Homo-oligomer: A and B are copies of this chain.
Amino acid sequence: MSTPQGARARARQEVTAAIKEAARRQLAEEGAAKLSLRAVARELGMVSSALYRYFPSRDDLLTALIIDAYDSLGAASERARDAACDVPPPARWIAVCETVRGWALAHPHEYALIYGSPVPGYSAPDTTVRAAARVGLVLIGIVRDAHLGPGLAGLSVPAGLRPEAERMAADLAPDLPPEAAVALVAAWAQLFGLVGFEIFGQFNRVVEDREAFFRHAAGRLAEGVGLTAA
């Protein structure tokens, strides 16, 4: 992995990185639909068939970009969490949400790649799943900190959702009350609903001051998971 055993392997890694970089540039400029292997090859001064030595297909290149995008967003949210480690959980939650939104605004096409419509019939490989989970883990961590520290507001779930709530909590955060797990997953999806609507233009002619609107919505999301304003 990190052992550059030979000059050969190193060159291969460099070319692979150059391909991904050029592809990411094209993705940012034209979007995933227009990303073309031949154009990437042209930009790199190669012939298109040479690219297949590095990525077996266009989908594999896209998958690599997807993983990188998840990692980039995950790292950004982790940095935001760490930078806000000394503010109370509700404010930390808002800070992470705003970082997610900021990342999406800065990388709209990469955001579309990971949270927009997936390719039909495309099922994410395991590596993708792991990368995708990072943002969620950050959010869970904030709620856990509140639970272990200043406390979490009590929530409730209807009886019919009880088993599911306990299953979700066992999988996601065994140390959290089941109702918090349910609220967390819902807030997670709702956060990306807010971000997606802004990125994809659904807020055009509807929301003007998006910064303020989002901050407020993120705060209400925090209340929804039981984070009480300090």
Contact = CB atoms under 8 A, between A and B. Distances in A.
B212 A160 contact: yes
A48 interface: no
Interface residues of A, number: 58
**Oligomer copy total:** 2
17 contacts: A31-B119, A32-B120, A33-B33, A33-B119, A115-B196, A117-B200, A118-B200, A182-B213, A182-B216, A183-B220, A186-B216, A186-B217, A189-B193, A189-B203, A190-B193, A193-B193, A196-B196
Interface of A: 30-34, 109, 112-113, 115-121, 123-124, 129, 132, 157-158, 160-161, 163-164, 167-168, 171-172, 182-183, 185-186, 188-194, 196-198, 200-203, 205-209, 212-213, 216-217, 220, 224
A15 to B, nearest CB: 27
A32 to B, nearest CB: 8
Given A115-B200, A193-B194, 15 more contacts: A31-B120, A115-B202, A117-B117, A117-B200, A129-B205, A161-B212, A161-B216, A164-B209, A168-B208, A186-B194, A186-B213, A189-B194, A189-B197, A193-B196, A196-B196
